[in-house]
Every structure is written in C-alpha cells, then in structure tokens.
Chains A and B, each alone.
Chain A
Amino acid sequence: MSATETWGIGAPLKRKEDGPLLRGRGTYVDNLDLPGTVVMIIVRSPYAHARIASIDTAAAKAAEGVVAVFTGADLRDDWKAAMPCAWPVTEDMKNPEHFPLAVSQVNYQGDGVAVVIADTRAHAVDAAELVDAEYDVLEAVVDVAAAARDGGTLVHEELGTNVSYVWPLESGTFDEDADVIVKHTYVQPPLIPNAIEPRGVVARPEPGGDVTLWSATQVPHILRVLTAATLGMSETKLRVIAPDVGGGFGSKCDVYAEELLAGAIARRLGTPVKWIEERSENALATIHGRDFVTTLELAATADGKITSLRANVIASMGAYLQLVTPGIPLLGAWIYAGPYAIPNYSVTFTGVFTNTTPTDAYRGAGRPEATYVLERTMDLLAKELGMDRLELRRRNFITEFPATIASGLTIDSGDYHASLDRLLEHLGLEELEAEQQARRDRDDVKQIGVGFSTYNEMCGLAPSRILGAIRYAAGGWETATIRCLPTGTFQVVTGTSPHGQGHETAWSQIVADQLGCDPSEVEVLHGDTSISPYGLDTYGSRSLPVGGAALWSAGEKIIEKAREIVAHQLEVSADDLEYEAGTFTVKGSPDKEMTVKGAAWAAFTAHNLPDGMEPNLEATATYDPPNFSWPGGAHAAVVEVDTGTGDARLIRYVAIDDVGTVVNPLIVDGQVHGGITQGIATALYEEAIYDEDGNLANGTMAMYLVPSAAELPSYELDRTESKATDHPFGAKGVGETGTIAAAPAVINAVIDALSHLGVTDIQMPATPERVWRAIEEAKQ
C-alpha cells in the first residue's frame, strides 16, 4: 500500500473534527457567552390563522430583568425589504409579504408576534408569558389538496387564491392508448427535519454600525447578503459566522426571522442579542419538508417498455415562501423518470399555501418525493403487467452514457445494472422468497416482505446557467483558496459551510493527495464571511462535487506555479519536470527533485524566483459545474410485519450506491447510514400531524417518532463506481442518496409482505394502525 492509500483520496481516515466535538469542546452558537448579552424569546401565535386584535406588552415590559419588548408593528420600519425568497419559479408566482414578526395576521401556529428581550433566559421566558395578545381566530386550511381547490378558505386573502404558482415541464405526448396504463395517487406528509442542534443566533453590534452574526446556519454567505438587504445595511458591514453547527438536513439552509430580529435588535439596543431555539419551538418554527400529494401515471407496452410518464404534483408551501420554498419541487422535476429511459415526459407542480409551518429544503428536497412515487408505481406496473418487478426495471434502465433524458438534462455516467447485480449478490433473494412462502404457508402472524428501489438523482447544485434558466436568483459555483505556508503546511479556505459532513477531513485528504503532504498538515477554514472567498455554502450534496472541484482547481494552479519555481531553482525546463504526489522530478535525472513544500519555501523567501514572478504560493479557484452530479444505485429493504399489531420493522437493509470516486469511505458510509435512516423514518415513523385547526399535534420528541438504533438493523452497504466525467477526480454527491432511495424500498417491502392478503397500498408512514387497516380493508 502506498502512502497516499493510507491518507489520500479513497483512504478511510477517521474524521479530524470528531475529537473536539465528541469531547464537548466544540463551539456551537449557544456556547458563545459575550459580555453584555441579552436574551431574546419569541412570543408565538397559538393559532394557525388569526388576525391580531391587540398586543398589550405593558406587563411584560414591567417584569423583572426585561430590557425591551417589541411587536411586529414596533419593528415594521426596521425592515427595508420583506423576508427573502430567492427562487420566484414563475414570473407570476404569488408571494405574500412576510416579515420577521407578523404585523396584522398570523398564518401558522408558531408565527412570531412579539419578542421579549431580558437579562437572562429565565426572565425572558417569564416575561413572554405576560405578553397579552388577543386574536380574532380565522378558519384554517391545513390539507394541501383541499387548499388547492377553489372556493375554500384562503390563507392570504389578499392573494385571492391559495395557489402560488403552476410550473409545467413537458416533453412529448402521453401515450393514452398504451397497452397498459397505471395511475396512483400518493400522499407524502410534512416532516420535521430535527437537526440535533436546534437553531440559534447571536448578533453583536460593532463600532461604526457593523454587525457580527453567529448563526447555526448552513449558508453564512447567502445569509449575509440577504440579511444585509433586509436590514438595509451594506453587505460590507455584516460579518456572518457559522461556528460548529450540529446538523441541518436542509433546515438551516434558510434565512430565518430570528436571524433578522437578532440583527435588528442588536443594532437598536447596542448590545449583543442571543436567541436559542427550544426543541419544541424547532418543531413549529423551523421549516418542514415534503407535504406533497402526487398522482403518477406510467404507460407501457405489454412487454414492459415504459413509453410515457405524467406526474401531477400538489406541493404545500406552508404559510409563506421561505428562501427556496417554491423551488423544492423543481429540484425533483427532472428525475421523475429516475434511471429509466421514458421518452414522453410531463410533470406539473402546483405550489399551494396552507396554514402550516413553511416548507423548504429537507434532505433530498424534491428528489425523495419523485423517487418515492416512481418506485412505488414501478411495482404497481410490474404487477399489472404480470412481470417480475426487477425485470421491469432492467428493461427500462438507461444504459448508454452520456444520456440525454426526456426532461432535457444529460446524465454523464452511471451503471444501474451493475448496482442491481451487486445488490442481488448481497441479498439472497431466493432464500428470502422461500422464507416468505414458508411463513405464508403456515399462516404465520409475522410475515416478511422484500422491497426494492433502483434510483438515480441529480445533485451537486448547480450549473449556474441552468439555475438562471429556472429563475433561481444566484449561481451555483463554488470557490476555494489554498495557501502554501512557509512551514510546509497548507491552509485551505472553502466557501462551503460544513455542519457535520466532515469537510475538514475530506478537504485535507484531497490536498494531501494532490500536493503531497499529510492530512494533519492541512488546515481547513470555513463558515466565516470575513475569511472565506465568496462562497455559496452547503446544501444539495454540492460541497464535494462543486467545492471539491474548486479545491482541486486551486491545487492545479499551485502545481503550475510551483512547476515554474522548481524549473527555475533546478535550472531545467518546466517541460522536463514530472509531477507526482507533491514531488517534481527531472526526466532522466532521478536524483534531481523538489517538492511543492520546497517551492512554497522558495516562494515565501522570494530570494530566487523567476524574473517577474509574484512571491508567495497561493491560489484561488472558482468552479462552476458544467452539469449536475448523477449518483444512483439499488436498495433493498426486508421487513417483518406483525399482522396482529400491524408493526412493520426492518430486519435487513442492503444498499448499493454509486457515488463515483469516494474520497473517504468512512464519511460516505456515515452519509449513507444517516440518509437511509431518514428514509426509513419517512416510510415507517415520521409525520407532522396537524389537526383541522392547524394545531401541530405531535410537536415533541415524545410524539414525533424519530427512530433510534433500537428500531433499526445494521445496514449492509456496498458500492459500485462510475466516475463523474465532468468532475476532476470523478466524485459525485452522497449527502442525500440514502434518503432518496430508502422510503420506497421500505413501503414496497411492507406491501410485499402483505400482498398475499390482498394489500396493494399503504400510505406513509406505515404506522401499525395503517397496516392494520390495510389488512382489514383487504379482507372486505
């Protein structure tokens, strides 16, 4: 094994970040204890839909320790712009005006109406109870399908409709006369992302009107520009720092009311303001994911060749448009046909307002919603055709790459057959089917089922030109700087903003591999707008596909400059130098060599550089991806269903993922584990349940069922590899694959376990009650 195999690209290096984090030495927002800090508590509406009749703050203002109390009306003039939505997906999209505190009307349970600022958290919480808000309660609309229908309750009366936009994508004509057409409607309920660290923010006023904002965010750069715009201050006067951030899953890819409130109030009061979200507050006030109702139709020939796909999607926006709320469905728009070649393609999204927590990016963001309905319908189609479900998939797999798909994009690489082949090598399907038959034969109360999901996805957000074409307000490029320090160490500054992904380790491995050093000699800086090159942060499985490519490009620049320095120092032609893993050697003179580290020292001293060369060895590169990243794979779930209690439980889960080149297999396994777990949670456990008045009925960890290790089996993971052809070292995104693939595999398995009883459909999550009812209905 060569040295780079132990620490370069592909090495299972333990994460550099973990020591301090596991020992409690991390610095999260709540660990900041700045002198003079006052604490902010938000007073939230208990009603999902109501007009604010009055807010009496006198008692709260008089309470012990209270510094200030502000209502939405008090702060209205602090906002120089409404809260930002960066993705107006259509020209005529309806976007209600939305401020950090509601001024006259609340539109979801948890909408903020006032803030209390006090010297301690306890005083602030006590005083918040004394804020006396009176409401005129309005009828709420909660169900997304009902909200989309004409004539019902309107969330925003002034818009005259609950429909924010209708966005179609059409290519070809649906084959209405096909041999077989299957059509099914699927409900994907709202989900609470539940990052392990709730949100938090500290805003500190600085001399000269500047503000420093620490936030538990995925997007410090985006937050900076949009906060500055909303507060009406110059971007140069605002510094945003994302310190250690405990997860996000997309829920911290946003600009939130509390960040703006803390900034505005810190400037008003001239003292640092801190807000830390409570867990139950997180359930209401941090964005939710999903909440789609989708009707999918597939048309096929009798021999199983799919000719047409039509998807009609009603997507809940929740009460307001947050940062990229309307664009979430679009992130799945191109992959409703998944890994299959389907020539006629039509997808229509209707974005709809409801009196629920705003939705936005949650792990997978638009792609799990697409993959779920496709993979469920593939099983339905196989059944309708009387064809083996895997054979149907194989007959429709895209096999020639690059592949331009009906939705208009080009998949650079993939090998879906290889992933499925590998899956079957691990699975032992024949034994499972024999076991299933034996249990059926003896009428066992516990039945087993096997479910599949063969998938692809598009991530690595994103080619800027495509983003422009679909009306997203920013680009999708990323930036990295490498500084070769005189001591032979390397400082990397990335515009991505890790919040648990292990960038410090992975980026170190890339630099170590490319420039020839030990990963411990690489320092990775991120998440501070005052030190980083302009960046576009971390979401959509983009950091390695885009930020990693920028890093590699910066390394190439370093190597090129170092080559000139080395040629000069060794007195040879640059063309005569060969480079490998940090060392230049002279062709034909194996004794003559010099390292990048040596070149860095020469560039630092600048005693003997080529004429006209700038001293210092440092490079910055900005990379705009020419294409999305296209991971794929094949997953299988094996479930055991207790037909008495309705309990469905995973007994095995096998995942084969193709994410191109793997930089660190431990980190990739970790991403896949977490992703699968969230997919299983979606399939079996999690659902934000609202009552008809819009009250969130299960907004605590006791009632919102995030599964634990005790409910889950150990996963069996393997990989196939088709390298990304556009990426400098062939890597694809992996942050969302598991979540995208897992839910349909699990539901398909539950249905498979009960198919002999006549069960054909179960809504997610497949709770014991839903399983029981499905069995009972099949008996009718």
Chain B
Amino acid sequence: MIPAAFDYEVAESVEHALGLLAADPDAKVLAGGHSLVPALKLRIARPSKLVDIGRLSDLAYVRDAGSQVAIGALTRHVDVQGDPLLQEHCPIVSMTAGKVGDPQVRHRGTIGGSVAHGDPASDLPSVMRALDAEFVIVGAGGERTVGAGDFFTGVFQTAVGHGELLTEIRVPKLGDTTGWSYLKYHRRAQDWATVGVAAIVHRDNGTATSASVSLTNMGGTPLRASAVEAAIAAGSSPAEAAVHAADDTEPSTDTAASAEFRRHLARVLTERALTQARA
C-alpha cells in the first residue's frame, strides 16, 4: 500500500493549477483524495505529479444562481448534505451526498472529485444525470459549460480533459410539483451501489406526468432510462414503466452481482423510486 513515487505541488489558484497541469501530461488533480489515494496505493494510478487543489477555498460554496443552484467543485459531501439552499431547492442532491461512503469519506471527499472521477458505481453522477445538471470546466482556452448527457463519457472518463479543471456544478431548482427519489441497493452501509436509481418526477395531483430516471452502475456511465421515461409520459404506472428499466443496458458482472441480477434490481428499484417520487 505504498504508491509509486510522484511529485506534489499545491495549487495557489485555479490559474496556477491549470499551468501545473498543462506543464505535465501525466499530472493528476488531487482534491479530497478518496478515489485517487486508494488507486495510488494500489498502484493502479501512477501519475508523475499530484496537483493539490485542496486549498482553493474559492471553489467551496453553494450559491443561488437564479433558476439553478451552483455548487463549487471543492465543496465537501458533508457540506452539500447540510446546505440549506440545496435542502430547500434540490434536496435529492443533499440527501444523496449524505449517502456517499461513510462519515470519513463525506468529510474529505468533494462533489467535484466524485463526479469528475466518473465511477459508474457512484451515486452523485447518476443524480446529476437525472437532474440534467451542468458542469463548468475551465482550461487554457477559457470556460465552457457541458450538460450531464455529454459530461460522462465512459468508465472513469468525463468531458474534463487534461489540463482542465471542473470548477462548478449547477443543478436546477425543483418546484413544488416535482418529486424525487434516489434509491441504491448496497450490501453494507459503506458500499458502492450494486445498482442505484435516481428519479425526478413531475406530478399533477398524484399522477406522474413526466419523469427523468437515471441508473447507477448499469453501464459505463450513468444511464437515462429513456424507455421508462417514455412510458411515464405516456401515462404508465410506476410498475408498468419500471418493466423497461433495464432496456438497452449492458451492466457488468462482478462479485457483487451478475448482469442479470443487476437488471432485475434496476426494475425493482425503478418502480420503488418512481412510486416514492410520485407520492
């Protein structure tokens, strides 16, 4: 559990971080470290340099941004969990942040690190996908905004390119007629999701009129369950719609579950999440 040798530099500013990254194609960004450090210790990741952005306190915030809530990339899970603005306007994010890992992880891990890591078993990426969140990425060429549909590009891969930094995540304010649920099945309290389902449901008198449903760990990236969404829009019940939850998915088989069982879990959890979000 000793990492291969690497250099280490503390970034003093976003610009400084970008400069350090640009100068070294094998450098990696260190934020909370809760995904990167284990990978280093197992020598799965062998960067030449770590650029520590942990002191860029300017990137730790939750702000009102009109129809959206803006979350700084360096905001710790525990601060996302307890943020009153998110609890009021987008509680699925604060609630899910409170389900990540265990208290130690939540006190060090950051929302930006979690989503930029692109782990298909992570909770927050899936929630962001259901919310159609926006991601602000800065690089040498300036700033760009990427939607969730384009942000997660593959297993441990996102739209954040080398020499770039994710600085902010924007989530929509959910109105009174919007219900939500994030359910994950995991064996032990601290485990990653075997399968998770995020559901955002627009409702009218207890009936779902439309829904956004995203699946965790059912493929290389968070996946929108578009057949489920179409069924809801067409007036199907949660049980009827959930039958389609695993359509067009290719989940992996590992020691936690077979692909077949993951598909089953996706259907069970989708029905439950839709029912909970509609209520």
A residues near B (Cβ < 8 Å) are 121-122, 125-126, 129, 278-280, 644-647, 685, 689, 697-698, 702-703, 705, 707-708, 710-711, 767-769, 772-773
- A772–B266 CA distance with the chains assembled, in angstroms: 13
Residues of chain B within 8 A (CB-CB) of A769 are 257-258, 261
Residues of chain A within 8 A (CB-CB) of B4 are 126
- A234–B191 CA distance with the chains assembled, in angstroms: 50
- A708–B191 CA distance with the chains assembled, in angstroms: 11
A710 touches B188 (CB 8 A): yes
| B264 sits at the interface (CB 8 A) | yes
- A280–B38 CA distance with the chains assembled, in angstroms: 12
* Contact flag A645-B265 (CB < 8 Å), given A121-B2, A705-B188, A711-B189: yes
| B187 sits at the interface (CB 8 A) | yes
B29 to chain A, nearest CB (A): 23
| B279 sits at the interface (CB 8 A) | no
A218 to chain B, nearest CB (A): 25
A772 touches B255 (CB 8 A): no
The 8 Å CB contact of B188, one of A644, A689, A707, A767, is A707
Across the interface, name the chain B residue whose C-beta is closest to A41. Answer: B2
Residues of chain A within 8 A (CB-CB) of B272 are 644
Across the interface, name the chain B residue whose C-beta is closest to A687. Answer: B255
B258 touches A708 (CB 8 A): no
B189 touches A768 (CB 8 A): no
The 8 Å CB contact of A768, one of B185, B190, B191, B255, is B185
- A126–B255 CA distance with the chains assembled, in angstroms: 30
The 8 Å CB contact of B189, one of A126, A644, A703, A710, is A710
A711 touches B268 (CB 8 A): no
Residues of chain A within 8 A (CB-CB) of B268 are 644-645
The 8 Å CB contact of A708, one of B1, B190, B261, B265, is B190
Interface of B, helix, strand, loop or mixed by DSSP:
loop
Across the interface, name the chain B residue whose C-beta is closest to A123. Answer: B2
* Contact flag A768-B261 (CB < 8 Å), given A121-B2, A126-B4: yes
> Which range contains the number of B residues in contact with the other chain?
20 to 34
Across the interface, name the chain B residue whose C-beta is closest to A279. Answer: B1
Q: A705-B188, A710-B190 are in contact. List 7 more A-B contacts (CB 8 A).
A: A122-B2, A702-B192, A705-B187, A708-B189, A710-B189, A711-B188, A769-B257
Across the interface, name the chain B residue whose C-beta is closest to A697. Answer: B255
Residues of chain A within 8 A (CB-CB) of B188 are 685, 705, 707-708, 710-711
A-B contact pairs, 7 of them (CB 8 A): A122-B5, A280-B1, A645-B268, A698-B255, A703-B256, A768-B187, A768-B261
Residues of chain A within 8 A (CB-CB) of B42 are 280
A333 to chain B, nearest CB (A): 33
Residues of chain A within 8 A (CB-CB) of B187 are 685, 705, 711, 767-768
- A646–B187 CA distance with the chains assembled, in angstroms: 11
- A647–B185 CA distance with the chains assembled, in angstroms: 9
A689 touches B5 (CB 8 A): no
B122 to chain A, nearest CB (A): 13
- A41–B264 CA distance with the chains assembled, in angstroms: 44
The 8 Å CB contact of A689, one of B2, B189, B255, B257, is B255
A525 to chain B, nearest CB (A): 34
Across the interface, name the chain B residue whose C-beta is closest to A684. Answer: B187
Across the interface, name the chain B residue whose C-beta is closest to A644. Answer: B268
- A646–B191 CA distance with the chains assembled, in angstroms: 17
**B245-261 CB contacts (< 8 Å) to partner A:** 254-258, 261
A194 to chain B, nearest CB (A): 14
- A707–B188 CA distance with the chains assembled, in angstroms: 7
B136 to chain A, nearest CB (A): 31
Residues of chain A within 8 A (CB-CB) of B192 are 702
B15 to chain A, nearest CB (A): 33
**B169-204 CB contacts (< 8 Å) to partner A:** 185, 187-192, 194
- A757–B190 CA distance with the chains assembled, in angstroms: 32
**B1-57 CB contacts (< 8 Å) to partner A:** 1-2, 4-5, 42-43
**B231-279 CB contacts (< 8 Å) to partner A:** 254-258, 261, 264-265, 268-269, 272
List 5 tightest A-B contacts by C-beta distance, closest first. A710-B189, A644-B268, A698-B255, A769-B261, A125-B2
B239 to chain A, nearest CB (A): 11
- A129–B5 CA distance with the chains assembled, in angstroms: 13
A772 touches B189 (CB 8 A): no
A690 to chain B, nearest CB (A): 10
Residues of chain A within 8 A (CB-CB) of B261 are 646, 768-769, 772-773
- A702–B256 CA distance with the chains assembled, in angstroms: 10
The 8 Å CB contact of A278, one of B1, B255, B258, B265, is B1
Across the interface, name the chain B residue whose C-beta is closest to A709. Answer: B189
- A707–B5 CA distance with the chains assembled, in angstroms: 34
A66 to chain B, nearest CB (A): 15
- A125–B190 CA distance with the chains assembled, in angstroms: 29
- A122–B256 CA distance with the chains assembled, in angstroms: 33
B190 touches A126 (CB 8 A): no
Residues of chain B within 8 A (CB-CB) of A702 are 191-192
Across the interface, name the chain B residue whose C-beta is closest to A707. Answer: B188
Residues of chain B within 8 A (CB-CB) of A767 are 187
A645 touches B185 (CB 8 A): yes
Residues of chain A within 8 A (CB-CB) of B255 are 689, 697-698, 703
Residues of chain B within 8 A (CB-CB) of A280 are 1, 42
Residues of chain A within 8 A (CB-CB) of B265 are 645, 768
Across the interface, name the chain B residue whose C-beta is closest to A773. Answer: B261
- A444–B218 CA distance with the chains assembled, in angstroms: 27
- A199–B261 CA distance with the chains assembled, in angstroms: 37
B266 to chain A, nearest CB (A): 11
A767 to chain B, nearest CB (A): 8
B36 to chain A, nearest CB (A): 15
- A707–B43 CA distance with the chains assembled, in angstroms: 27
Across the interface, name the chain A residue whose C-beta is closest to B5. Answer: A126
Across the interface, name the chain B residue whose C-beta is closest to A647. Answer: B185
- A710–B99 CA distance with the chains assembled, in angstroms: 13
Residues of chain B within 8 A (CB-CB) of A644 are 268, 272
Across the interface, name the chain A residue whose C-beta is closest to B262. Answer: A769
Contact code string B194-217 (vs A, CB < 8 Å = 1, else 0): 100000000000000000000000
Across the interface, name the chain A residue whose C-beta is closest to B269. Answer: A645
Residues of chain A within 8 A (CB-CB) of B1 are 278-280
B78 to chain A, nearest CB (A): 18
B273 to chain A, nearest CB (A): 12
Residues of chain A within 8 A (CB-CB) of B264 are 772
- A705–B191 CA distance with the chains assembled, in angstroms: 9
- A702–B35 CA distance with the chains assembled, in angstroms: 13
- A646–B257 CA distance with the chains assembled, in angstroms: 12
Across the interface, name the chain B residue whose C-beta is closest to A278. Answer: B1
Across the interface, name the chain B residue whose C-beta is closest to A649. Answer: B187
- A178–B41 CA distance with the chains assembled, in angstroms: 61
A706 to chain B, nearest CB (A): 8
B33 to chain A, nearest CB (A): 16
B254 to chain A, nearest CB (A): 8
Across the interface, name the chain B residue whose C-beta is closest to A700. Answer: B42
A684 to chain B, nearest CB (A): 9
Across the interface, name the chain A residue whose C-beta is closest to B265. Answer: A645
Residues of chain B within 8 A (CB-CB) of A768 are 185, 187, 194, 257, 261, 265
Across the interface, name the chain A residue whose C-beta is closest to B43. Answer: A129
B95 to chain A, nearest CB (A): 18
Residues of chain B within 8 A (CB-CB) of A772 are 261, 264
B109 to chain A, nearest CB (A): 15
- A646–B268 CA distance with the chains assembled, in angstroms: 10
B256 to chain A, nearest CB (A): 7
Across the interface, name the chain A residue whose C-beta is closest to B261. Answer: A769
- A773–B194 CA distance with the chains assembled, in angstroms: 17
Residues of chain B within 8 A (CB-CB) of A689 are 255
Residues of chain A within 8 A (CB-CB) of B5 are 122, 126
A708 to chain B, nearest CB (A): 6
Residues of chain B within 8 A (CB-CB) of A685 are 187-188
Residues of chain B within 8 A (CB-CB) of A645 are 185, 265, 268-269
- A129–B259 CA distance with the chains assembled, in angstroms: 35
B134 to chain A, nearest CB (A): 31
- A769–B192 CA distance with the chains assembled, in angstroms: 16
Most buried by B among A279, A711, A769, A772: A769
